[in-house]
């Protein structure tokens, strides 16, 4: 689950429903216990809306109200920076978005010459960046998720920070993730956001999780990248939290912000702070 902190949850939910066909699945208030589990006491009582892809995939987007942060600029700060969503035809989406008020910051393009993977980037209502990615190659030979609707589920969360090696090592070793390797390449949307030359080469890394298609991307963010501005006691703007399911919180050897406890009905959850200052929420899932 990707949690996006926005100034107006109703307006943000309408954006996701209108342009990404996401379906509202519940609305409520953040409990005091959940706010404290994130280390964000001022979030207690804040409104939230849960959204699910039209495909009903069990990967969600959660919108939570915060006060506006005027100094926040997408892709210029450390922390969770983007949600990548699998789509069937990114070029068709680009054509539709061009006739709308959706803010496109990256045109549809192949990841590399001849690549079957094409992606574009837009900015959502909370300043979150949303990558929309289609895969037209041999699906059996890839580890992209299978999708059933034109715009489907999030499958990659992007984390930006000043120390790529520290981010990668923390997630790989703490959660025993598979290593898909490091990549050095120009990234237009990052160069544009940071005011760097188009030829600037960024170093990225990708780790893979247990379920097919689920990945983490780490972006090494040079200056003028900086700590994300936020209001005291509130979640940071944009992509604020990524939540992961785990078999048991007792298996995680990491310092939680608060001890694990039942936070979602009878389901235990706990959160920790990652190496780029990001909030990582772990939710027990004992279905398997």
pLDDT tens, position by position, 13-68: 999 999 999 999 999 999 999 999 999 999 999 999 999 999 999 999 999 999 99
Specify the pLDDT at position 143. Answer: 77
Other Cβ atoms within 10 Å of 19 Cβ, number: 20
Contact 61, 22 (CB under 8 A): yes
Query: Are 149 and 168 within one domain?
Result: yes
CA distance 244 to 257: 16
Residues facing 95 on adjacent strands: none
Domain membership of residue 230 (yes or no) is no
Same domain, 17 and 137: no
Segments forming the whole domain that contains residue 149: 79-220
Q: With a cut of 50, which residues of the chain have pLDDT below it?
A: 288
pLDDT given at position 281: 98
Q: Are residues 208 and 152 both part of a single domain?
A: yes
In total, how many domains does the chain have? 2
Considering the domain architecture, whether residues 32 and 60 belong to the same structural domain is answered as: yes
* Residue 139: per-residue pLDDT: 64
Same structural domain for residues 176 and 280?
no
Does residue 83 share a domain with residue 62?
Answer: no
Q: Is residue 96 part of a domain?
A: yes
Q: What is the pLDDT of residue 287?
A: 60
Tell me, yes or no, whether 90 and 121 share the same domain: yes
- Residue 170's pLDDT is 97
Assigned domain for 245 exists: yes
Same domain, residue pair 146 and 245: no
The CATH number that applies at residue 178 is: 3.10.180.10
Instruction: Answer yes or no: do 20 and 51 share one domain.
Output: yes
Which helix (H) or strand (E) covers residue 37, if one does? helix 32-37
Same-domain status, 87 and 211: yes
Q: What confidence score (pLDDT) does residue 9 get?
A: 98
Of 142, 145, 146, 147, the closest CA to residue 155 belongs to 145
Indicate whether 263 belongs to any domain. yes
Structural tokens at position 84 = 């990548």
The verdict on residue 74 lying in a domain is no
Does a structural domain hold residue 119?
Answer: yes
- How many of the other CB atoms lie within 10 Å of CB of 49? 20
* Lookup: tokens for 233: 């006691």
User: How high is the pLDDT of residue 140?
Assistant: 67
């Amino acid at each position: 689950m990707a949690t996006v902190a926005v100034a107006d949850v109703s307006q943000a939910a309408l954006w996701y429903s209108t342009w990404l066909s996401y379906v509202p699945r519940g609305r409520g208030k953040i409990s005091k216990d959940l706010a404290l589990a994130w280390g964000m006491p001022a979030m207690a009582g804040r409104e939230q809306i849960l959204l699910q892809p039209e495909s009903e995939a069990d990967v969600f987007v959660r919108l939570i109200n915060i006060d506006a942060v005027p100094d926040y600029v997408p892709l210029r700060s450390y922390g969770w920076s983007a949600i990548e969503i699998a789509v069937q035809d990114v070029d068709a989406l680009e054509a539709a978005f061009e006739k709308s008020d959706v803010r496109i910051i990256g045109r549809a393009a192949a990841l590399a010459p001849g690549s079957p993977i094409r992606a574009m980037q837009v900015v959502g209502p909370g300043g979150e960046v949303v990558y929309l990615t289609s895969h037209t190659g041999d699906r059996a030979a890839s580890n992209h998720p299978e999708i059933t609707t034109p715009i489907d589920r999030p499958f990659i969360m992007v984390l930006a920070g000043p120390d790529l090696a520290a981010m990668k090592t923390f997630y790989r070793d703490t959660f025993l993730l598979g290593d898909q390797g490091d990549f050095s390449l120009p990234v237009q949307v990052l160069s544009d956001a940071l005011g760097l030359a188009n030829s600037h080469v960024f170093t990225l890394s990708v780790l893979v999780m247990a379920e097919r298609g689920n990945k983490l991307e780490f972006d090494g963010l040079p200056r003028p990248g900086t700590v994300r501005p936020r209001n005291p006691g509130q979640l940071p703007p944009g992509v604020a939290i990524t939540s992961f399911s785990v078999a048991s919180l007792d298996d995680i050897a990491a310092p939680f912000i608060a001890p694990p406890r039942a936070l979602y009905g009878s389901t235990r959850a706990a959160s920790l702070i990652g190496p780029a200052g990001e909030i990582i929420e772990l939710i027990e899932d004992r279905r398997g």
